[in-house]
Structures are given as structure tokens and as C-alpha cells.
Structure 1
Amino acid sequence: MSRVSEFRDLPKIELHTHLEGSAPPAFIRGLAREKNIDISGIFDAQGNYTFRDFDHFLKVYDAACTTLQSPQDFHRLTLAVLEETASHGVIYMESFLSPDFCGGGDLVAWRDYLAAMEAAAAEGQAKFGITMRGIITAIRHLGPDQSRNTARVAAETAGDFITGFGLAGAEMMGRPGDYTWAFDAAREAGLQLTAHAGEWGGPDMVAETIRDLKVSRIGHGINAINDLALVDQLAENGTVLEVCPGSNVVLQAVTDWNAHPIARLRDRGVKVTVSTDDPPYFLTTMSDEYDALARYFGWGPDDFADLNRTALDAAFCDAKTKAKLATRLEQQ
């Protein structure tokens, strides 16, 4: 039996979301109408996003992003996402932000977009009680050269709001070592590091990402389970996995919830966290994720408390913010 409503008010820490991918479909349709953009083909009869597979998902995602054309659009988007996310008990979220979608990666334009998102984050914290931090993210399938530009933009705008640097997109394009320059530059700028790996690639992709990019967190990382020596290395080194089970199931990175390795990874000592990735695309929320974990793996209050402690420890925010969040987690 579903217990989604039971989990809604439980305070949660979420580390792996894509801002554009968190846009409610009704919000995107509204922008499309305002701008006379025809993207009707990316929605099903019920008004939800629709796609066939991961490659088609990327195309639908890009089509939805064509409606986001100005800093004001991103201000509105950020507020809409924060309101929806907070309604499921999330008190802290990190979101991947792509300068490539915000002025084409131009630093001057990016500063305007960033100011709009940061203002919306402050407004969202005041209205909805949710704290947000941004992780500037290079898009892997745009290539290493573009990732260097993204890293420069990240280095120039690192601060209290932009606290991390990451890599997302089509995982099987190139190898992690191709993006070393970008990650070195981001590290030198004081940004904390994460990268998507092991969602579609095998354990070797996870191992190379850790070795070549020197990240503290891995986005997804679920295919590490196919190399138990690597799993033990992740546990020993304290590498944190940003696991998004609902996303993995919908995109068929795993066959179904029963086959998902999150419980096996955690039982072997790996630090796992839970996030929604691109929630409206996968018809999920953090409440739904907790409900599924309870139904399929029997996880209860102690397990969820442990997940949130792990996520808070791994969060890309300062000690003062973590202390405030810890107090809120302890109140439940």
C-alpha cells in the first residue's frame, strides 16, 4: 500500500536535481504559449512529458528548454521548482545549472541569469523554507572544449550560491579523462566536484571518473555493483553516490525497482543518497521515492534518517548552513 502522504512532511535533503529538468510541464506549456513556440509533441494526452528512451528523453528535454529564454524565465522557473520541491518536505536541494542553456555559455549573460536564479532562491527560502545551492554543470555531449568554457564561467561565479561543478549529459560520449582540464580549473576555484557516471557506463566508467576527475560524489553510480572490488573501494574511500532510483527505473537503466542495486550498495557500506533527478519527466517526487524504498526494500524511519545524514554530510554548502539544516532534521 502506498504511503506517499506519510512521507510528504518528512524533512529531506536532495543532492541531485537538474533545474530545467524539474520544470513542471504546465509551466513549460505556459511559456510556450507566451512565446508562440510549438512543442506540443513532447507531451502525452495527460499533459505529461513523453519520450521513448534515454536518447529521446534528451531531445524532449532540449525542446522544453527552448522556452527558457531570459533571466526572468529562469527566475520564474526556480520559484516554481522550489515551491513544488518544498511541498514534499525537501529543506535543502542542490540543482545542476547549465550556462549553455543560459545565454549560450557567455559569462556576461550568465551573470544576469545567475542573479535571477539566486534572487529566486532567496525568495523561495523565505516563502517555502527550502535552501538551494547551484552546481554549474558541463554537458558531456557538447564536448571537452565546451566544458573548458563552462569551467571558466563556474570559476568566475563561484561563491555562496554556486558551490559545485559537475558533468552531465550523454555518459557514453568520450571518457572522463577528456574533461580533466575543466575539473582541475573548477577545483582550483574552490568548487566541490561531482560527475554523472555508472548510469549507463559500467564500473570502469565510475572508476575512471573518480581517478581522473577526483570527485567526492558520483551521480547515479549504480553500475558499480557489477564490480564488488570497486564497491568496496567506494565504501572505504567514502565516495557518495547520488542515487535516483525512480529515474533509473523509468529510463530502464535497471529493469524494475526489485532489480535496483541501491540496497545492496548501502548494505555493503557505500554512502548512498536519494534524489529525483528530473522529477516531472519520471512522474516522481521525493515522497514517491521514499514510498518505493519502503515498499520494495522495507526501509523505515532509521534508514531515511541515515540517508539524510549522509546527504547533509556530502552537501556542497558551508558548515553554518549544515548546522541549521541538521537542527531541522533533528526536529522530526
Structure 2
Amino acid sequence: MPSTCPQSFIDLPKVELHVHMEGSIRPETLLKLAKKNDVSLPADTVEGLREWYVFRDFEHFVEIYVAISNCIKTPEDIELITREFLDGQAAQNVVHSEVTYTACTIKNLRGIPWDEQFDALKRGMKYGLETHGATMGLILDIVRGDSPDIANEVAEWAVSGHGEGVLALGLAGSEARDAARPYIEAFAHAKKHGLPIIPHAGETQGPESIWEALELCDPPRIGHGIRCMDDPALVEELKKRGTVLEVCPTSNVCLTPIASIADHPIQSMIDAGLNVTINSDDPPMFNTTLSDEYHRVSEAFGWDMAMAKQMARNALEWSYLPDDAKLLVSSRLN
């Protein structure tokens, strides 16, 4: 459906630190993939798929994710989703994206080797830079529940791609206690080669998942992290470390007990002195964009454009963009 986001938020140059490639595939792109690969979907029009995408519950969210994965069959499909992702980011003036990508799932489902996936991703990234001046880096994630051998393989892929577009090793999936502990070897391998670990934690589970992430990963950033507010000692620890929290407001309203944007802890997190950024997570699945996220939070908490710009500066500062590129984007914000 058409966005009601004011143009001022669309025009604001933005950097996104927490967005999933597979979860960013819009209905238009999914329909192209389904027709190309002869995959049956619940609807055969863009309008029908948009209706199907409307968030209902977690089970439906997973159903869409599975359908998307089933439509990605070749390296050319990976290049297409990368190109169209960057088209969408450029349309809302997102100048740099640090994108979580689950290479192990694509390999396991489709048998596409990592080197072929990476070549396709790099072709898409080259297109984004040449066409839009938009840059993109990759966070290759381990999925909690996968075997340590798979995790070690993903860590090796991440290390091999470092300097060519891979920025970090990620960790997603269930936040159950000790679910990350089997991957200590993978984390150590990545860190030995200069790659940071950026885990999801404190989204659906409490502070204990964040404490575990700090212990095992020593992360510069944490995906979500909103449950830190349940533990004052954890808030102080995150402030002491300078850990950045990649907050995804609309996603949190959909997937956690938070009732509305106005009930989201983001303002309390900022007031507590935590390092916070605004992100979209899986935007078409939650009927949002990064511009919408800025607008919704600003509207809910009475922010002016100066505050929105400061949040954009924060994301820029805590990104892995080179310093010269940061200066260029910063000049546009000023």
C-alpha cells in the first residue's frame, strides 16, 4: 500500500544497520522469482501478495519466509534480490545498508555454493553503487540450532569475504538460554581474523540472552536488545562497553508483547544513555520502510527533525563505512 510517510523523512539521508536480505524481498520481486522458477504462491498478483504479506502472527511470518526461500533457486535470483533491495533502499535515500544474509540456508536448501552466492551478491552490490551511489555490506549469520560444523563453515565464509563486502559474523534464531554456546569456535575464528560478531539478543527473551551475547561474542552491536531495560545492571554494562543496540520498532510491536510504537522502550533507552539506532528488520513483512520507522517513532515521541537527523548520524557513526564515506554522508546531513 502507498506510504503515508512525510517526504522530509524520505529525503533524510539514512544508514541502516539491521535489515535482513531475505526478509526485504517485496511482493513484486517475489512474484518475478515465482514465475521464473515455476513456484506456486498463495496469490499470483502483486496486489494479492501484498494482502498475503500483511502481518498476522509469528507462524504466518515464518510461512512467508519459507515461501521466499523456496523461490530463490539460482545465483541469478540472488543477484536480482540484491539489486531490487538496493533499488528500494535508494528510493527512500538509504545511502548505506549493513545487511544480514543467511547463506547457509540458501546453500542447504538450494545447493548453491558460497562462492557463487557471494559473486551474485557482489554483482548486485556493484549495481547499487553504480546506479544509485548506494553501498552495502554483509553480515553473514549463524542460525541458533544449526550444528557447530555449519557455524564453523559460515565463519570461514565470513572470513574469506572480509574486505570484499563481508563486514561481520551474525547470530540469529532462538534466544533460548545457552543456544549460542555451541558456536564459541566459530566466534573465535571470526574474531581472530578481525571480524566482529553482531548477535540478535534481547528481542524475544529477557536480559539473560544479552548477558550471554556479551560473554560469548563481546559484540560492538546487538540486534534489538530491547529487553535490556528489564535489568538496570545490564543497562550500565552496555553503557560502559558502548554497545550499540539496533532497534527495530515496528518489528518489535509485531513480534513481541509491545502493544504500539508509543509503548516501545526506545525513548527510555535513549534517555538512559544507551547507544540506539533505528532499523526496519524485515520491512515488507511489517508494512514498513526505514523512512516509516523514523516517522513513526518521531510521531510517537514528539521528535523534531533535528532529533531524527541525530539518529541518522548515530547510525552513520556506528556503521562500518570507511571514514571518507562517513564524512560525505555527514555533510549531506548537515
After TM superposition, the score normalised by the length of structure 1 is 0.92
Question: Which deviations, in whole Å up to 9, do the C-alpha atoms of 1:150-208 show, x marking residues without a partner?
Answer: 11221222223111110112333743323222111111122122100000010111111
* Alignment map for 1:25-174 (pairs within 5 Å): 25-40=27-42, 46-50=50-54, 52-104=56-108, 109-172=113-176, 174=178
Give the drift of 1:321. Answer: 3.0
Contact 1:4 1:290 in 2 (8 A): no
Q: How many residue pairs end up in the alignment? A: 329
Identity %: 34
Higher mean C-alpha displacement, 182-191 vs 71-80: 182-191
After TM superposition, the score normalised by the length of structure 2 is 0.91
Question: Which deviations, in whole Å up to 9, do the C-alpha atoms of 1:16-72 show, x marking residues without a partner?
Answer: 011111111121122112211112179967444255433442232022111111111
Distance (whole Å) between structure 1 residues aligned to residue 143 and residue 16 of structure 2: 21
Question: Which deviations, in whole Å up to 9, do the C-alpha atoms of 1:104-128 show, x marking residues without a partner?
Answer: 3999821111111112112112212
SS for the counterpart of 1:141 is coil
Distance (whole Å) between structure 2 residues aligned to residue 29 and residue 172 of structure 1: 35
Structure 1 runs not aligned, ≥5 long: none
Aligned position for 1:24 = 26
Aligned position for 1:216 = 220
Give the drift of 1:310. Answer: 1.8
Distance (whole Å) between structure 1 residues aligned to residue 172 and residue 137 of structure 2: 17
Distance (whole Å) between structure 2 residues aligned to residue 189 and residue 85 of structure 1: 30
Aligned position for 1:192 = 196
Aligned position for 1:11 = 13
What is the root-mean-square deviation in Å for CA atoms of aligned residues? 2.3
Contact 2:229 2:269 in 1 (8 A): yes
Contact 2:139 2:166 in 1 (8 A): yes
SS for the counterpart of 2:107 is coil
Structure 2 runs not aligned, ≥5 long: none
Question: Which deviations, in whole Å up to 9, do the C-alpha atoms of 1:198-247 show, x marking residues without a partner?
Answer: 00010111111011111111000001111122112212221000000011
Change in CA separation of 1:32 and 1:174 when aligned onto 2, cut-off 3 Å: farther
Higher mean C-alpha displacement, 102-111 vs 317-326: 102-111
Give the drift of 1:313. Answer: 2.0
